[in-house]
Every structure is written in C-alpha cells, then in structure tokens.
Amino acid sequence: MQPGLIWGCARTADGTRLIEDCDEAADASFRWLHLNLADQRTLRWLERSTDFPRAIDDLMLSRDTHQQAIVEDSIVGLVLQDFERDFEPSQTMQIGALHIVVAPGQMLTGRYHPLHSADIVKQRIVQGAEIGDGAAALGLVLGAMADGLSQLVHALAVDIQTAEDEFLNEHLSPATRDLMAVRRRAARLHRLIGGMRATLHRLEMDPDLPRLLAPVAEHIVQRLHALDADVGGVQAQLRALRDELDLQTAQRTNQNLYFLSVMSALLLPATLVTGFFGMNTGGLPFAHTIGGTLAAGVLAIAASGATWLLLRRRR
C-alpha cells in the first residue's frame, strides 16, 4: 500500500529527477516527497517510515491552517498558508495550508487540499530546477509561494488602477460590489502575507535553525515585506477612490437637495396665494369679477417672482 504520493523528486548522480514511489531512490543524497495528507495511507506511511520528534509529527498532520514554525533536533517544521486551487478559476481565494518538514537528506510537504504553489514547484522541477539539499528545496517552495502571491498582488493592483482610471478619465463610478470584492481580496492577501512574513522572521531568529536555511528565510522575508508594502499601497488607493466616490455622491446629494429647496421656496408663495383664494368665505377678492382667476394667477406668479428676486439678491 503506497501512500498518497502526489509527486516526488530525488537528487541522484544523474541530477534531479521525479520519482513515483516513496521508497524509490532510497540511497539518493536528497529526496523531496509531496504528500496528500487527506489519504489515510499517507498517515500510516509516515508512522512507519519516519522518526520525527513528536512536535514535528503533530505539526505535519495538523488540520489547523494557523501559520507556525518550529525547530526540533535540527529538523524544521512549517505550516504556511496558500490559496487553494479549484476547477473554477474564480474560486481561488480559499485559504489552505502547506505543511513542510525539512530534515537532513529529505524534505516532506503535504496538503489537505490542492494548492497553487505545489503546481508551480512541480513545473519548475520538470523544467530543470536542481534540488541538491534542503536549503535549495525550501528556497524553491518558498519562492514559488512568493511568486504566486506576487501575481495575485499584481492582478489586484491592475484592478484598482483600472477602476481609478475609469473614474478619473471617463467619470464612470465603479460598482460597489466590485470595490468590495477588491477590498476582500486585499484584506486576505494582507493577512496571509503578513502572517507568513512574521512566521519566517521568527524562524530566521530561531537559534536552533540550521545555518544553511537562514539565508533562505531571510531572502523570502524581504520579498514578503515588499509584497506587503504593495498590498498596503493598493489598500491606500482603494481608500482614496472610496473617498472620491463618497465625495461625489455627497455633492450630487447636496445639488439635489439645493434644487428641491429652491423649488420649494419658489412654489410656497404661489401655494399660499392659491390657498387663500380657495377659501369658501364671504367677501373673497375677485370672486365676482370676470378677470378674477387671471388676477389671482398673476398675483401667484408675482409672489414666486418676488421670492426668486429675493433669493438672487441674498445669493
């Protein structure tokens, strides 16, 4: 019974090559296995074939997506968040977790749901990426995760810039639903990148971290810091655009209220005149004259005209 091996690679005398069996190339200088943790056979294989510290085992099999890093007996364990991959391209913002264990001579990665970074890593290995040790393997997987996040941040920046250009150049107001979707994506990216950066920074500062892995963590922390700054810039643009939209809406509302106020002020005197002549009381002016209606109408128009002149004079 083979475990749920998704793909694997081994460093042999002929270079880095893909393997299809967890026990294949057992004498290789370095092996990397990417496992399906949702498969029960994977769990049995891990119990039978690995001898990691208890904390590393618990971290590897945990279903918690909280990002964390530990170092036990020169073995590094990581849980890093990544976006899940689905059949629909639009369903790419669900957050999953990649479990990583870097031990002397091998590295294990696992996930419960398909992730973007694993596909990128496999493509790069197929294209000739050399995996000679744990530092190279960890650098490859962290670099793939950073590249995937960079693409998402770039797409986010393009969306907000497009909405901003339409608003400034064509005076088209972006749909509120679209801006809310951008805001949700930016918030998720900010939390994911910020958490990953903090986790790797703690790993970098751990005194038990193997010396070869420290430069890898430092390099990725710097990249994540730049990506987080880009996300912060997108969020600032989004806030500025929302402020412009709110200001435009407020101005439009004020203009409508001003128009209604002026119309009410102009019609109020005329309404007062028509209400006066509509009373069924004795001695009403113009009640028994031929031009009474015309005279009352002229008086109503004159009252509105006087009100208009008064408003113009008072500006």
Average pLDDT for 262-280: 76
* pLDDT exceeds 90 at position 225: yes
Residues of the chain with pLDDT > 70, as a percent, come to 93
Question: 101-114 as b/e, with b when 16 or more CB fall inside 10 Å?
Answer: bbbeebbbbbbbee
- Residue 90 pLDDT class (50, 70, 90 cuts): very low
Whole-angstrom distance, CA of residue 68 vs CA of residue 66: 6
- Identify how many contiguous H helices and E strands the chain contains and give both numbers: 7, 7
Which residues, including other chains, have CB under 8 Å from residue 214's CB and lie 6 or more apart? 204
User: What confidence score (pLDDT) does residue 281 get?
Assistant: 66
Task: With H, G, I as helix, E, B as strand and everything else as coil, classify residue 97.
Answer: strand
Mean pLDDT, rounded, of the chain: 86
Consecutive H or E run containing 18 = strand 15-19
- Please name each of the domains of the chain with its CATH number: 5-248 (3.30.460.20), 278-314 (no CATH)
- pTM, to two decimals: 0.77
Q: What is the DSSP letter of 34?
A: E
Q: What is the pLDDT of residue 139?
A: 94
